[in-house]
Structure 1
Amino acid sequence: METTGQKKGQLEAEVSKAITQWEKEYLGRGPLQVKTDILRNMLIVHLKGILTPAEKELTKTEQGLLSIKKIRADLIEAGNHHLKEIIHTVTGETVESFHTDISTRNAERIIVFILEGNLERKLTE
């Protein structure tokens, strides 16, 4: 059973590393922290420290806050095919759908990837 936990932990770390690399290459800046959890057929990715200093400044107004949320959502949507490829490459699972939201107040993003297969079960078998 011990190796199962290591496999799961290693895979979660690999996903975190791959998402961080994608953020750096695609968005020009990576998050300060990334934590990935595998739960049933979901990958839950929590990114902290994602805003640039200029974006942080913009979030001080309601209009700026909404602008950052929209721009970041549009950027993620535009790159979603590459994100899905990354997840498939790292996990071997096909992404059925993904959902994301950003907290501009906390400079955090959550991404939930819904996979076709139950990855957690496969790792515990």
Structure 2
Amino acid sequence: MNMTKGQIEAQISDAVIRFEKEYMGRGPLEAKTYIVEDLVVVRLKGVLTRAECQLAESRDVHNGRDLIKRMRHALLEKGRPMLDAIINDILGTPVKSLHTDLSTITGERVIIFSLESVPEILHN
């Protein structure tokens, strides 16, 4: 069955939400995926826990925010093989690199997957 680009993007969003829930312990409030040629951009909203929000707003704001970012980055790096497999399984194209950042102010995280090539699935 041929899927539309929008259906493929929704499938990736659902898979990343599942990863966040199962691996990170809590899923985002919202996720949206955009495929642009050989890039997959996943935007997650509402990823911070209540405790992380408290830490981000504490008196020592800079250290708290840095700690959250470092911890979340380390956790994502540890789970990266699972994320790479998710993207490869859906698109049939290996991930070349992964880039991510998290806003401790808005609670939004962006994950960008750079692929080895433009997925064939998009050419159908």
Identity of aligned residues (%): 44
Three-state SS of the structure 2 residue aligned to 1:106 is: coil
For 1:39, the equivalent position in structure 2 comes to: 36
Alignment of 1:84-103 (within 5 A): 84-103=84-103
Q: Identify, as 1 or 2, the structure richer in helix.
A: 1
Alpha-carbon distance in 2 for matches of 1:80, 1:123: 24
Three-state SS of the structure 1 residue aligned to 2:44 is: strand
For 2:74, the equivalent position in structure 1 comes to: 74
For the pair 1:24 / 2:21, whether they are aligned, the reply is yes
CA contact (8 A) 2:37 2:118 kept: yes
Using the TM superposition, give the Cα deviation of residue 122 of structure 1 relative to its aligned residue in structure 2, in angstroms: 5.0
For 1:50, the equivalent position in structure 2 comes to: 47
Q: How many residues align?
A: 120
Matched letter for residue 22 of structure 1: F
Alpha-carbon distance in 2 for matches of 1:92, 1:110: 22
Three-state SS of the structure 1 residue aligned to 2:106 is: coil
For 1:110, the equivalent position in structure 2 comes to: 110
Alpha-carbon distance in 2 for matches of 1:87, 1:123: 14
Structure 2: gaps of 5 or more residues: none
The TM-score, its normalising length taken from structure 2, stands at 0.92
Structure 1: gaps of 5 or more residues: none
Per-residue CA shift, 1:24-61, capped at 9, x if unaligned? Answer: 00000000000000001000000000000000000012
For the pair 1:12 / 2:12, whether they are aligned, the reply is no
CA contact (8 A) 2:98 2:111 kept: yes
The CA RMSD over aligned residues, in Å, is 1.4
Alpha-carbon distance in 1 for matches of 2:47, 2:28: 5
Using the TM superposition, give the Cα deviation of residue 80 of structure 1 relative to its aligned residue in structure 2, in angstroms: 0.5
